């Protein structure tokens, strides 16, 4: 057991929560945004939709404009989204390129399509998220959107839901932690694991796309203090999430 994502809490008595349901996140095509890095390479952000992603707080176009004009830093308005790792695809000209799947709420996508202000704001959020998460340097102001993702041909293999157990500690009535154990027998290390833990949503993906799953959480989670560890011998990923 030598691959450590973060320090785990001491083991505690666990009572299994049999009510938790899992589902594969199958996003529907939405909008494709073409971007360019400072190096000149082309990348795509496939904006897809899923009801599993929460809708952002309601705000008018005028209020968003005012918020953007009155703050010198990132505005306090937040857009829930999930960004997967880069995968290699080919564009219409047959050239290879990198693409990232960005999943948002379908209601917010409709709002974005109807407003250049919200579309511009979302593209900015996506660019900043890609730069932060993947250490990219993307040219600002250079983007193009299409109504679907047909410009990029996805050749990614179909993923499967891993076997997992989600439990409450010390009990389901008054939990302090939610502990999730996932069996990932096809992985050799934790390097390909991507966790996206929301306040009430747990998402796991692997870069190889062997595994992908999501589960709704019955309690609000302290995202910042969630911890995970992958056991190379047993091929089990243990994720410990404090309950707020």
Burial class for 31, CB neighbours closer than 10 Å (0-12, 13-18, 19+): buried
Which segments of the chain does DSSP mark as H helices, in order? Answer: 61-69, 106-113, 116-134
CATH number (3.30.2350.10, 2.40.128.260, 3.40.50.720, 2.60.40.790) of 3-24+159-242 reads 2.60.40.790
Which residues neighbour 3 within 8 Å (Cβ) at sequence distance 6 or greater?
189, 190, 191, 229, 230, 232
Look at residue 27 in the predicted model and tell me its pLDDT.
Answer: 58
Compute the distance between CA of residue 168 and CA of residue 174 in angstroms, rounded to an integer. 8
HSE value, Cβ hemisphere, 13 Å, CA-based, for 63 = 6
What integer best gives the mean pLDDT of the chain? Answer: 79
- Expressed in angstroms, the distance from the first to the final Cα of the chain is 29
Q: What pLDDT is stored for residue 29 in this prediction?
A: 62
Which pLDDT value is given to residue 20? 47
Three-state DSSP at 182 gives: strand
Q: What is the DSSP string of 130-176?
A: HHHHH---EEEEEEEEESSSTTSB--PPPPBPPEEEEEEES-SSS-S
**Number of other residues whose CB lies within 10 A of the CB of residue 95:** 9
Residues in the chain: 244
Backbone φ and ψ of 3, nearest 5° = -100, 110
Instruction: Using the predicted structure, report yes or no on whether residue 73 has a pLDDT greater than 60.
Output: no
On whether the CB atoms of residues 79 and 54 are closer than 8 A, the answer is no
Task: Report the alpha-carbon distance of residue 81 to residue 79 in Å, rounded.
Answer: 6
Global pTM reads 0.53
Write out the H or E segment, with its range, that includes residue 44.
Answer: strand 42-49
The confidence score (pLDDT) of residue 177 equals 96
Paired sense of beta strands 193-197 and 201-206, if any: antiparallel
Report the pLDDT value the prediction gives residue 97, as an integer from 0 to 100.
85
Give the per-residue pLDDT at 70. Answer: 63
Q: How far apart are CA 96 and CA 43, in angstroms?
A: 10
pLDDT tens by residue, 112-150: 989 888 988 898 899 999 999 999 999 875 455 655 443
pLDDT digits (tens, 9 = 90+) for 19-54: 444 445 555 667 888 898 888 888 999 999 888 899
Contact 230, 5 (CB under 8 A): yes
Domain boundaries, the chain: 3-24+159-242, 28-146
């Amino acid at each position: 057991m030598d691959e450590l994502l973060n320090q785990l809490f001491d083991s505690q008595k666990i009572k299994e929560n049999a009510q938790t349901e899992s589902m594969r996140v199958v996003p529907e095509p939405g909008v494709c945004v073409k971007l360019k890095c400072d190096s000149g390479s082309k990348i795509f952000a496939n904006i897809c939709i899923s009801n599993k992603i929460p809708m952002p707080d309601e705000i008018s176009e005028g209020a968003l404009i005012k918020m953007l004009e009155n703050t010198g830093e990132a505005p306090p308005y937040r857009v829930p989204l999930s960004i997967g790792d880069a995968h290699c695809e080919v564009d219409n000209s047959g050239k290879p390129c990198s693409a990232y799947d960005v999943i948002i709420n379908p209601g917010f996508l409709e709002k974005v399509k109807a407003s250049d202000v919200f579309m511009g704001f979302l593209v900015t959020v996506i660019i900043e998220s890609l730069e932060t998460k993947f250490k990219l340097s993307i040219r600002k102001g250079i983007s193009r959107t299409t109504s679907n993702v047909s410009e990029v041909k996805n050749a990614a293999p179909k993923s499967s839901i891993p076997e997992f157990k989600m439990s409450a500690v010390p009990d389901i009535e008054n939990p302090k932690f939610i502990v999730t154990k996932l069996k990932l027998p096809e992985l050799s290390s934790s390097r390909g694991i991507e966790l996206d833990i929301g306040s009430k949503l747990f998402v796991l993906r692997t870069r190889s796309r062997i595994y992908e799953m999501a589960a709704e959480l019955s309690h609000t989670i302290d995202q910042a203090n969630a911890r995970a560890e992958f056991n190379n011998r047993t091929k089990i990923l243990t994720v410990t999430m404090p309950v707020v």
